[in-house]
Amino acid sequence: MRAETVVCGTLVDYRGVHGEGCVVVEDGVIAGITSRPPSAVNLLDHRGRGAYVAPGFIDLHVHLRGLRLSYKEDEYSGTAAAAASGIAMVVDMPNTVPRLATVEALSEKLQALERYSLVDYSVYAGIPGDIEEASRLASMPIAGFKVYPGDLLDRFSVVRGILGSSDTLVVVHPELPEAEKPLVESNSSRTLHRGCHWEIAAVELIASLQPRARVHITHVSCPSTLERARSAGFTVDVTPHHLLLQEWSEDCLFRVNPPLRSPHYSMLLLEKLLGGTVDAFASDHAPHAVWEKSEPLTCRPGIPWLEAWPQMLYCLVVAKALRLDEYLWLVSRGPARILGLSGYGVLEPGARANITVFKPGPDRVLAPGLSKARYIPYFMERSCMEVLATIVGGAVVYREGVLTGETGAVNPLSWPGGAHWRPYHEKDSP
């Protein structure tokens, strides 16, 4: 029998380097691991070329926009950018137009993702106006709910109701509504007004509600927030910009929520990351049109990362700050664990056949061109590895700089049987 797809090279996942071998794919799933390639319809043989064959990367916080915001980004352009950087799954945010807080809007979004996404996907629902609509949304194939600062003001009782449900993931933007100020502030005054105290206060508020849901705090920008979130039993992610971007100016390119902090804080955040207290990297890919990023008075917050962040953060491995297995935990198994996807982020028989093939070096400048947001500030340009192929459910979506036109994308939360939606056990931790 000929295998559907076989991918050979140095096999590696969050458990470490397994040596040279091949991943054999059948029906979108890893059917086996072999030392030599069996006969295959589609053979990608990277043995002897210094390439790693790793589980597909996952970005659990992206804004693909679409719907009425397609001029900024859409489900196709955003996931094409993701595929080019080795990301085989994304989870989309609900602050679209319309907001994904009704069954109707969410259905429209899920249809667009099903039709256009090149990589596996899911979506978080926004907080609706009443708890009945929340139950309807929860029965749809979503990854969880997203809480924004405004929800704590306008829909607090619904937030509390959702947090009381034990089988839900609730992803929280950790700022209180009081932190949200007019857009015309400068970046440095925002850093003061939207200080770390608002982040910690938001985490305190959520913890005081004694949630039964799994709570994930996304884009922690302050070391103290991280400490507080972990002591409450919440998982946390960090963005590349809060971690590494130490030189920034008043330019709109650097406007982001939560704001960029001082170099001292990002160093402390990096120290926490290296100490193993972060569960995942997430990009918060937040694309806007060029004109929205050029005008200081109407400057929109957000940094578009999807085509660059795994390559840039690999520089931490090259610098020997992170080990390769730790990096793969943060870009793949860690996010899978937060999402509750047991069949993701690992190379073993029965897992979803999402695979990223990459090669370290050369240290070079990236020139992304698939995302609609092509304003690339200098700090996003650095790349320390090259993505050779991105494979989604066994389909080679991206190979050596080219989108192949193939896709095997699914929403794992609507997969028949839900085989990839099982809770994790402690032994999954590194």
Catalytic (active-site) positions: 284
Of 33-41, 243-251, 282-290, 395-403, which part binds Zn ion (CB under 5 A)? 282-290
Paired residues of 216 in beta bridges: 171, 235
Closer residue to Zn ion (CB): 151 or 284:
284
If contact means CB under 5 to 8 A according to the sort of partner, which of Zn ion, ligand DOR, none does residue 257 touch?
ligand DOR
DSSP state of 251: S
Confirm if 45 and 54 have CB atoms less than 8 A apart: no
169-172: strand order across its sheet: 57-62, 87-92, 120-125, 144-147, 169-172, 214-217, 235-238, 280-281
If contact means CB under 5 to 8 A according to the sort of partner, which of ligand DOR, Zn ion, none does residue 301 touch?
ligand DOR
The verdict on 92 binding Zn ion (CB under 5 A) reads no
In sequence order, which residues have a C-beta less than 8 Å from that of residue 28 and are 6 or more positions away?
A: 352, 353, 393, 394, 408, 410
Paired residues of 43 in beta bridges: 6
If contact means CB under 5 to 8 A according to the sort of partner, which of Zn ion, ligand DOR, none does residue 261 touch?
none
The verdict on 120 binding Zn ion (CB under 5 A) reads no
* Rounded least distance, CB 17 to ligand DOR, Å: 36
Residue at shortest CB range from Zn ion? 284
DSSP state of 357: E
Confirm if 226 and 216 have CB atoms less than 8 A apart: no
The verdict on 284 binding Zn ion (CB under 5 A) reads yes
* Rounded least distance, CB 72 to ligand DOR, Å: 8
If contact means CB under 5 to 8 A according to the sort of partner, which of ligand DOR, Zn ion, none does residue 408 touch?
none
If contact means CB under 5 to 8 A according to the sort of partner, which of ligand DOR, Zn ion, none does residue 165 touch?
none
Burial of 294 (0-12, 13-18, 19+ CB in 10 A): middle
Confirm if 290 and 299 have CB atoms less than 8 A apart: no
* Rounded least distance, CB 93 to Zn ion, Å: 5
Q: Phi, psi at residue 238, to the nearest 5°?
A: -130, 155
Closer residue to Zn ion (CB): 21 or 301:
301
If contact means CB under 5 to 8 A according to the sort of partner, which of Zn ion, ligand DOR, none does residue 95 touch?
ligand DOR
If contact means CB under 5 to 8 A according to the sort of partner, which of Zn ion, ligand DOR, none does residue 391 touch?
none
Q: Phi, psi at residue 76, to the nearest 5°?
A: -80, -50
Cα–Cα distance for residue pair 235/239, rounded to 1 Å: 14
Closer residue to ligand DOR (CB): 256 or 395:
256
Closer residue to ligand DOR (CB): 21 or 302:
302
Closer residue to Zn ion (CB): 73 or 284:
284
Tell me which residues touch ligand DOR (CB under 6 A). 63, 95, 173, 256-257, 286, 301-302
How many Cα neighbours within 13 Å face the side chain of 176? 15
* Rounded least distance, CB 110 to ligand DOR, Å: 19
Confirm if 317 and 52 have CB atoms less than 8 A apart: no
Closer residue to Zn ion (CB): 85 or 257:
257
Of 43-51, 83-91, 106-114, 284-292, which part binds Zn ion (CB under 5 A)? 284-292
| Three-class secondary structure of residue 264 per DSSP | helix
- Which tokens is 120 given? 């596996």
* Rounded least distance, CB 173 to ligand DOR, Å: 5
Of 248-256, 263-271, 283-291, 326-334, which part binds Zn ion (CB under 5 A)? 283-291
Count the residues in the chain.
Answer: 430
Q: Which helix (H) or strand (E) holds 63?
A: none
Closer residue to ligand DOR (CB): 196 or 355:
196
* Rounded least distance, CB 223 to ligand DOR, Å: 19
Q: Chain centroid to CA 327: how far?
A: 14
Of 14-22, 46-54, 72-80, 278-286, which part binds Zn ion (CB under 5 A)? 278-286
Paired residues of 429 in beta bridges: none
- Which tokens is 64 given? 């693909």
* Rounded least distance, CB 63 to ligand DOR, Å: 5
User: For binding to Zn ion (CB under 5 A), which residues are involved?
Assistant: 284
